[in-house]
Structure 1
Amino acid sequence: MRRTFITLSVLILSIAASCKSDRFKETGTGITAVVQSKQVTIEFLTPSIVRVNKHLIEAQPEKESLSVVKSPDKNTKVNINEEGDDVILSTKKLTVKMDLATGKISFFKQDGSILSQEKLNGSTFKSFDDAGKDSYMVKQGFVLAKDEVIYGLGQVQNSSLQQRNRTIELKNSNHDITIPYICSLKGYSIFWDNYASTSYSDNESETSFESIGDCIDYYFMYGGSGEGTIRQMRELSGQAPMFPLWTLGYWQSKERYKTQFEVVDVLKKYRELQVPIDGMIQDWRYWGEDSVWNAMKWDSKRYPDPKQFAKEIHDLDAHLMVVAWPGFGPLTDQYGEFESKNMLINFDTWPPNSGTKPYDVYNPKARDIYWDYLNRGVFSEGVDAWWLDSTEPDHINVKPEDFIQPTHLGSYQSVSNAFSLMHTTGIYEHQRQTTSEKRVFILTRSSFAGQQRNAATSWSGDVVSDWNVLHDQIPAALNLSVCGIPYWNSDIGGFFVWNFPGGKDNLAYRELYVRWLQFGTFCPMMRSHGTDTPREIWQFGEKGDWSYDAIKKFIHLRYRLLPYLYSTSWQVTSEGKTFMKPLAFDFEEDKKVFDLEHEYLFGESFLVCPVTESMYTNYEKKDKKYVNACENFNGVKNSTVYLPNGCSWYDFWTGEKINGGQLIEKNTPIDVMPLYVKAGSIVPWGPDVQFAEEKGWDNLEIRIYPGANGKFTLYEDEFDNYNYEKGKYSTIEFVYDDQKREVIIKKRNGTYNGMLKERVFNIMVVSDSNAQGIENGQNSIAVKYTGNEKVVKL
């Protein structure tokens, strides 16, 4: 009788499996099913990342993602069950349910609580002629909770941190870096894997993405927290490699230095004034006239010896970044070769009326050719880093037919947003193939999902010098950062100084410049650049002048922070973290920070509140110009700062300890920006240097901010090669026990060439009587350390 029961049970299970296979097919990592004339594929890449792909049955699109590098992990265990009309796929992290009658897909945490869901009948395909190819306008709608907090969409300069109740055309431009990606404070994110201009819309009925495409293709990721969503996006689209230490120093640029001698003389003057600097930037036209735009050759009259140029920069302990563009003038060798091989995209790019055309970045052979010229003409001369300008690219004299012309990967309109991604891919991959002794460092005006893997840092474009624009940089940077792009900066002082007659000589502009530079000190890259007026420190006065002294003070502060910055970079690379993040990512229980767009967290310890309003200049804004500035910058003004609830905070400048969860007034004279450190933080304090590698880190101050337990990992390597990828680096973990008032310096892990064998850590407990701001603190405890664990009683 028992054997009969077993046989009957097997028969029932076989019938159930047969019924299941009639409605969907298991693939090992998910399922495929046909629902309402659409083939739907649900595929788990990891237990936390799932891909949803939909296309019409009659179409069989083949798509290889430009952004996604993660392959499905075959070891991911996916449990699949059928309940009525629902098929339910579960992993240890995430549950996905699809209604086999309607096709609606919902996403749940393992405790059964809903994360997000598609809108019923929210998947639409509308026929579209894509440059003669039968395609579609594809749209997917989602239903979000009414009070759900959403960030993302890239660098959209709309003054907003949250992206609810907005309609935005996601199209890369000079000022906008658009990424079809949103993340929720519920701990999940959605990446719409499409490279065409995309319409994003959020309203009471739905949140949707709509683009040209052969299929609906998106990734749903569950990270469990705000920062967890960044980690998932990096796993999906690629990790960010380490930059050299020197890239975290100060950079000087302008539009433009006109000879190699001018660049070297600027650097020499910085050294004479003893103002720290690590990078000089050569902007455009070093090649000559616009007809040979971007020739990747040096004008022999103004740059007679490029190798000597780079050598003089290096002999002054700095590095050289040189601009390169994606377009070529009609008289360049590159233009001729690309044209003969049908590798130009036929529209006008910068500069106007020059006949300059961009190359087909989507073609790998074209990227090979581009690097060959760049390497022979520029990189081989000793250049250290790249400024890849106009990577949207600029599009001048726009005509409808420009968008329907073919590229290597399809019509230009279908892949336009990925231009920068493909262009930087070519530079990164080719330089890595050329040498491992010099890390790739790219500054680029545009970006797209996955570009962090190309060692690229983005900047916010040719923004106008204005207080409102300065304010808008903060939420723009934060929303780009949450999309997985960790490195960002802006032109300190703004690019165009139209609103300030007299430029650097206008006291109103000097105030704006100083405040912008203070913000730039707490960005991943600190770079002064612009047109209309020069930006070198001596243009703002001399020692003793308020503007000069304030600028020098914050450049010195940047260099004291180098051990903290470099260790944070390692967290970015090894743990999927980020430099700049919204306060809500660490304080999601405090609703007051959800829309707080003018403050942010910098690494794990600092709360930064840039001053984004004029305090000292009594100006008249007449005809959109700032005029009639006063000259008194000695008085003390105030800024309002909100300190999030959930911990205590220390005023960086005074050491005062303040409870969170309150608005405070902070004195902000022209040389002070509101800056706070979270209780429990451990901050390494570097030596006073003129360039990043001037002194070793053999005598670091370790600042302890009591009031909570804390830990920090100090990361060190050879600073500028790829040996760290082979394990050539070291980490030292510091752990602070607040109750015991004890610091444990743990055993050092790892080794690298040139590693310090002996060192001293000067442990200092911060308080209102023992805090010196930028200067070294008092009453520190000197601890000799040779790599073994030490316990320090405070």
Structure 2
Amino acid sequence: MSKKISLLLAGLVLAACSPKTYQVTNDSVVLTLKKNKDTQAGKIRVHVLQDELVHVSATPDADFPKDSSLIIVPGLKTVPFKVKDAKDSVEVATAKLKVKISKNDGGIQFRDNSGKLLLAEQQGGGKTFDPIEVEGKKAYSVKQIFNSPADESFFGLGQHQADEFNYKGKSEELFQYNTKVSVPFIVSNKNYGVLWDSYALSRFGDSRPYKQLSDVFKIYDKNGQPGSITGTYSSTDAGVQTIVRREPNIFFEDIKSIKALPQGFPLKHANVLYEGSIEANETGTYKFTLYYAGYMKVYVNNQLVVAERWRTAWNPNSYKFTFPLEAGKRVPLRIEWQPDGGVSYCGLRALEPQTDEEKNNQVWWSEMNNKMDYYFVYGNTMDEVIKGYRTLTGKSQVMPKWAMGYWQSRERYKTQDEIVGTLKEFRERKIPIDNIVLDWNYWNEDAWGSHEFDKARFPDPKGMVDDIHGLNAKMMISVWPKFYKTTEHFKEFDQKGWMYQQAIKDNVKDWVGPGYVGSFYDAYSSGARQLFWKQMYEHLYPLGIDAWWMDASEPNVLDCTDMEYRKELCGPTALGSSTQYFNAYALMNAEAIYDGQRSVDNNKRVFLLTRSGFAGLQRYSTATWSGDIATRWEDMKAQIAAGLNFSIAGVPYWTMDIGGFCVEDRYVAGQLAYDKDGKENADYKEWRELNARWFQFGAFAPLYRAHGQFPFREPWHIAPEGHDAYKSIVYYTNLRYRLMPYIYTLAGMTYFNDYTIMRPLVMDFGSDKKVENISDQFMFGPAFMVNPVYKYGARNREVYFPENANWYDFYTGQYITGGQKRTVDAPYGQIPLYIREGAIVPVGPEMQYTSEKPAENIVLYVYQGKDGDFTLYEDEGVNYNYEKGQFSRIGFHYNEAAGTLTIDAREGEFNGMLKNRTFTVVTVNKTAPKAFTFDAKGKTVTYNGTKQVISLK
């Protein structure tokens, strides 16, 4: 026998004798690992869902727990895959991916079918499992670290308020709170996404919680004494004595910790100064998080690192910053705080430089999971990645057409006459509007959750809704998952065990009148969800109400509590502890209404607006707004990044309170002074410009709505007719309606093409590295580049024109070559707006509401210079017949070389479809620039549904 044959036989014998470390099922490969520590994974499962979708599970236990996902839609069909066994790894291959699993440590690499590395878990697998027990349930705090190359960028994670965009090298704590909506999904510029399947408090980018200053630094007061910071509390009120004391930390962030503030000292007119110094124990970049209500500034090493920020006293905000420090070097710290209420909050916490293991890598951590679950989503473009996410979590519905129009809201319309009268004034002034909103407290003061109207203020609710419909508008109503314990609805839930009890036990009173005790229902119970809808169906649905505003859906049982008490207030849930099921309440609540309404009327599109959200929200025809944000220029700017990251996290419908919700006192005073003497004082002048700029931005959000506290947000309350602010608001509202053929097509694309309406530039110009950190410009569909103005008094702003595209100025038609940065004009009444070369933009007729008239004549702008396409989508606008194929498409194709526009034969049909119409084709090119006008003259084409080719030379 030859030596070669002997070695071969020996190898076969060894292979036959060694235990097999993995098993192959019809849809998965399960790998069993040798564990050196209890915190390591013992089993890894790679579950193939689609050629581009892979589900990874890991557990330190002998077997996987039998649980199911709240966010993944059931019934996904699996695809064939191949398994290749190597000496130290197992490879799972689909038509698009190769997933390599280490037999030694379970570490996973994801590659495309050419072998290019897309994502790799850190050496050793990057997984950690730390045991946790809550309410007798044993589970794990889990952490996963992926390697991340220096040139990677991350986008998504939902909507947060720190004005951050690209999360590379940054961190975000993922929980739900008023103004903060966490969606555990990121999209990488490396052609993949990761969906982290956990409902617990989670963190991205850094697994550590922020610490008190004294736990990170040696701290000194203003006299150099160690162990504290000096706090000086003074007041502008006569007779209030100044207090100077030593503060071990700056931590007054919730209703428990603010008790450490000087007792009896009035905060309303206070000026508080914290000063001293900090000394780092190691050299590096330190992370800080500032928690603030009222006015706040922060100086580190005598540098202003946080310019003045403001937030209303009852709804604080967080702002993050970093600062490099040297070990052993004392650095001055100064915090200037002007509280803005009798109760107010502030805090400053920090983190040491991150470990090499985590620094600049992709890190996920969650507080309580049965096992670790994440989904890898591959795509050649970010749109393809988002399509994969929606394959996993559900299609985005086509919103009703009226929802694409303008909505007017106020905190709040207090009577039936107020809401109907406001709508009448819109009609009289000929300002387009489709939806008017009735906010909270339409019930009797002591009957929150009754779903019954206060008869003194709303004597005829059905007549009110009928009047609104008679004025050709829709009505949305605020419905909370909150019930006072005296209401019959509370008792219905309570007798079934479906009310959270902690607020009742603690006699927690809200802010209304003398204060009433109530709590929230448990949306994690299927029976409770059905009852929630049943109560709405019996009391509100018969009135003909068109849409539902699901407020406080975090759930926010009580403002400004510490995290542990928040968990106590919203649990235990029907599925387990609120520690484990902390973030998905809004998803469950949305399911209640969506499934409920479709079960009783499958011919009327559901529309929900919710203050919170989670992965999968889009499948319930639900949009999210950014909560009770402030009325500051920096808050307006922060909404741009917030909306972009929420959109790229896979939920396409997002909106905000135009003008901000919580109003600075100076703006209120400015309005009152103006009402008294009719003179435009400085504060009211700024208020008008802020609103004009915010409306300009808002007209290009997926949903266009104004809402807020006093001063009122109706255009005529912001400024009189003829004022530049009024004229600008009315112009962009009319523009929104004239662009309805374009906008409603985008709505259709969210369902049929898994499209994203509000698009960070990185989605369309990913090859241009300069766009990866541009958070204040975005694409509104394929044609419009929107550039909000967010500085008071600014009459120009810097705009980057991405490369690989050229651009036209919307207002002049001027041609601009891509790949350059310019300072462009931004007059008071205009938002800088540019059209991409090759764009085809349909413009409809003047309308006061979206269903007023069909678009019999469409002005079709063709921005020449390169080939272009657009496919007009139309359906009935109000029902679900589009799911049955009842819709139409008309394709437009511009050929630059031939100078022709091809209008395809119409595809499909639906009830009420226009059989004949005209298109007025208007060309814009660099040698013949044209400003956009609503009713431009051009080449008229009569169209009856058959294909036509039009010469544009």
Q: TM-score, normalized by length of structure 2? A: 0.78
Structure 2 residue 333 is the aligned partner of structure 1 residue 166: no
Q: Matched residues in 2 for 1:539 and 1:226: separation? A: 42
Residues of 1 paired with 2:613 and 2:9: CA distance? 56
- Specify the alignment match of 1:620 in structure 2: none
Query: In structure 1, which of residues 651, 657, 660 is the aligned counterpart of residue 815 of structure 2?
Result: 657
Matched, 1:639 2:797: yes
Q: Quick one: distance in 1 between partners of 2:163 and 2:128?
A: 31
Corresponding position of 2:459 = 304
Q: How does 1:683-722 map to 2 (within 5 A)?
A: 683-722=841-880
Check conservation: 2:865, 2:925, Cα contact below 8 A. Answer: no
Report if aligned partners of 1:119, 1:141 keep a CA contact under 8 Å in 2: yes
Q: Please tell me whether the aligned partners of residues 70 and 237 of structure 1 are also in contact (alpha carbons under 8 angstroms).
A: no
Where 2:579 maps in the other structure, the secondary structure is helix
Does the CA-based 8 Å contact 2:843-2:934 persist in structure 1?
no
- How do 1:201-350 residues align onto structure 2 when only pairs under 5 Å count? 201-202=205-206, 203-204=358-359, 206-211=361-366, 212-289=368-445, 291-348=446-503
Q: Distance in 2 between matches of 1:181 and 1:753?
A: 39
The whole-number CA distance in structure 2 between the counterparts of 1:350 and 1:735 is 62
1:351 aligns with 2:518: no
Unaligned runs of 5+ in 2: 1-5, 36-41, 207-357, 675-683
The whole-number CA distance in structure 2 between the counterparts of 1:224 and 1:497 is 44
Please, which of 441, 444, 448 is the counterpart of residue 614 of structure 2? 448
Q: Tell me which residue corresponds to 1:773.
A: 932
1:729 equivalent in alignment to 2:887: yes
Partners of 2:454 and 2:586 in 1: CA distance: 27
Cα distance per residue 1:235-290 (max 9 Å; x no partner): 1100011111111111101000011111111010111001111110000111111x
Structure 1 481/774 Cα, relative in aligned 2: closer, same or farther at 3 Å? same
Change (3 A) 1:256 1:14: farther
Q: 1:553 to 1:232 in 2, by over 3 A?
A: same
CA-CA distance at 1:173 after TM superposition: 0.6
Please say if residues 447 and 484 of structure 2, whose CA atoms lie closer than 8 Å, have aligned partners that are also in contact: yes
Given that 1:493 and 1:529 are in contact with CA atoms closer than 8 Å, whether structure 2 keeps it comes out as yes
Task: Tell me how far apart the structure 2 counterparts of residues 487 and 544 of structure 1 sit (CA, whole Å).
Answer: 33
Alignment of 1:502-541 (within 5 A): 502=669, 504=671, 505=674, 506-541=684-719
- Corresponding residue number in structure 2 for 1:628: none
Distance 1:216 1:276, change over 3 A: same
Letter in 2 for 1:307: K
Contact 2:728/2:829 (CA < 8 Å) preserved in 1? yes
CA shift for structure 1 position 207: 2.1
Deviation at 1:11, TM superposition (A): 11
Within the alignment, does 1:791 sit opposite 2:949 as a pair? yes
Q: Name the residue aligned to 2:567.
A: 403
RMSD over aligned Cα atoms: 2.0
Count residues in correspondence.
763
Look up the equivalent residue of 1:302 and give its one-letter code: R
Does 189-198 or 150-159 show the bigger shift? 150-159
Contact map agreement 1:223 1:229 (CA 8 A) in 2: yes
1:28 and 1:14 map into 2 onto residues whose CA distance is: 27
C-alpha distance in 1, partners of 2:881/2:116? 45
Counterpart of 1:632? none
- In the other structure, the counterpart of 2:20 is 22
* Within-5 A mapping of 1:81-230: 81-121=84-124, 122-202=126-206, 203-204=358-359, 206-211=361-366, 212-230=368-386
8 Å Cα contact 2:711-2:717 kept in structure 1: no
Structure 1's 256 and 347: CA in aligned 2 closer, same or farther, altered over 3 A? Answer: farther
User: Could you give the per-residue CA deviations for residues 80-132 of structure 1, whole angstroms, max 9, x where no partner exists?
Assistant: 00111110011111110010111111111111111111112311111111221
The 8 Å contact of residues 894 and 902 in structure 2, kept in 1 or not, is answered as yes
Instruction: Give ranges in structure 1 of 5+ residues lacking alignment.
Output: 1-7, 617-636
Alignment partners' CA distance in 2, 1:174 and 1:346 = 22
State the SS of the aligned residue for 2:603: coil
Over residues 173-214 of structure 1, what are the superposed CA-to-partner deviations in whole Å (9 max), with x where a residue is unaligned?
A: 101111122110111011110001102225436321111111
Once the two structures are superposed, the pairs formed by residues 738-777 of structure 1 within 5 Å of their partners are: 738-767=896-925, 771-777=930-936
SS of 1:411 mapped into structure 2 = coil
Alignment of 1:375-524 (within 5 A): 375-396=537-558, 398=561, 400=564, 403=567, 405-498=571-664, 500-502=667-669, 504=671, 505=674, 506-524=684-702
Cα distance in 1, alignment partners of residues 557 and 414 from structure 2: 26
1:280–1:269 CA distance, 2 compared to 1 (3 A): same
Structure 1 contact 186–225 (Cα < 8 Å) conserved: no
Give the partner amino acid of 1:30. Answer: S
Q: Compared with structure 1, are the counterparts of its residues 475 and 12 closer, same or farther at alpha carbon in structure 2 (3 Å cutoff)? A: farther
User: What does residue 634 of structure 1 align with?
Assistant: none
Stretch of structure 1 that moved more, 331-340 or 198-207? 198-207
Runs of at least 4 residues off by over 4 Å: 10-21, 767-770
- Tell me how far apart the structure 2 counterparts of residues 567 and 48 of structure 1 sit (CA, whole Å): 27
- Partners in 1 of 2:689 and 2:821 — Cα distance? 25
Alignment of 1:625-636 (within 5 A): none
- Which residue matches 1:31? 29
State TM-score, norm by structure 1. 0.93
CA contact (8 A) 1:252 1:529 kept: yes
> Does 343-352 or 256-265 show the bigger shift?
343-352
1:383 CA drift (Å): 0.2
SS at match of 1:22: coil
CA 115–308 in structure 1, closer or farther in 2 if over 3 Å, else same: same
Whether the 8 Å contact between 2:168 and 2:360 is mirrored in structure 1 is: no
Comparing 397-406 with 454-463, which one deviates more in the overlay? 397-406
1:32-82 per-residue CA deviation (whole Å, 9 max, x = no partner) reads 1111341111011000000000112245412211111154423x1211001
CA contact (8 A) 2:408 2:706 kept: yes
Cα distance, 1:544 vs structure 2? 1.6
Cα pair 2:547 2:606 within 8 Å, conserved: yes
Where do 1:659-674 residues align within 5 Å?
A: 659-674=817-832
Q: Percent of counterpart pairs with the same letter? A: 37
Q: Please tell me whether the aligned partners of residues 814 and 929 of structure 2 are also in contact (alpha carbons under 8 angstroms).
A: no
Show CA shifts across 1:653-701 (max 9, x none). Answer: 1111110011122221111101111101111001111111111111111
Report the CA distance between 1:15 and its aligned residue. 8.1
Deviates more, 1:563-572 or 1:493-502: 493-502
Alpha-carbon distance, 1:591 to partner: 1.2
1:548-605: per-residue Cα shift (whole Å, max 9, x none)? 1111111111101110010011111111111111111111121111100100111111
CA deviation digits over 1:603-622, x for unaligned, max 9? 11111100011116xxxxxx
- For 2:83, the equivalent position in structure 1 comes to 80
The one-letter code sitting in structure 2 at the alignment partner of 1:443 is L
- 8 Å contact kept, 2:554–2:612: yes
Map of 1:623 onto structure 2: none
Structure 2 counterpart SS, 1:700: strand
